[in-house]
Amino acid sequence: MVASPASMPLHTAVTATLDMAGVAYEVLWQSQATQSINDTAAARGILPARMLKTLLLRDMGNQYALACVPGDRQVDPRRVREQLACRRMTLADADKVRAMTGYTLGTVAPLGLPRPLPIVFEERIFDHDSVTISSGDPHAGLWVKVADLVTLCQPLRAAICRDDTP
């Protein structure tokens, strides 16, 4: 059985940020945590392309940035590096993700962060009026308007996906 907002209120750093900004969102509950974008999309009844995958990247000088791409795409760290004028970038490990974002792998969102980080949104995100982001809780995602995310995150906008993904 899938929990509903009435039976299980959601209070995370992400929802607190949205609430403080007066941004409307819809909670998408799922009965259990999932291990992949495809499984999560299926559990929430949405397409992976409508999910915002948020990844923490680290450069050789220990500078960090968030890259946000559609769930059916893969980030190209080289393209992110070019946008931020960083040295070689790689995905951060689980411990660094937790330390830098306050979230565990699979629950990272570009909102509610403990410290400011540069954020880069893939151009394809703007193909949709709204997307789902992680709520910071492995059992729920949030529908939000892309325009509201842009206002709150103030991201750079660039083509940062690998060419070989759909």
Per-residue pLDDT, 80: 96
- The segments of the chain whose pLDDT lies below 70 read 1-8, 164-166
Q: Domain residue spans in the chain?
A: 13-158
Query: What pairing do the DSSP bridges indicate for beta strands 64-70 and 119-122?
Result: parallel
Residue linked to tokens 């499984």: 39
pTM, two decimal places: 0.91
Count CB neighbours of 127 within 10 A.
12
**Largest Cα span, the chain:** 47
Per-residue pLDDT, 6: 43
Question: Which tens digit of pLDDT belongs to each residue from 121-144?
Answer: 999 999 999 999 999 999 999 999
The number of CA neighbours under 13 Å toward the Cβ of 61 is 7
User: CATH fold of 13-158, please?
Assistant: YbaK protein (3.90.960)
Closest CA to 55 of 9, 10, 117, 12: 117
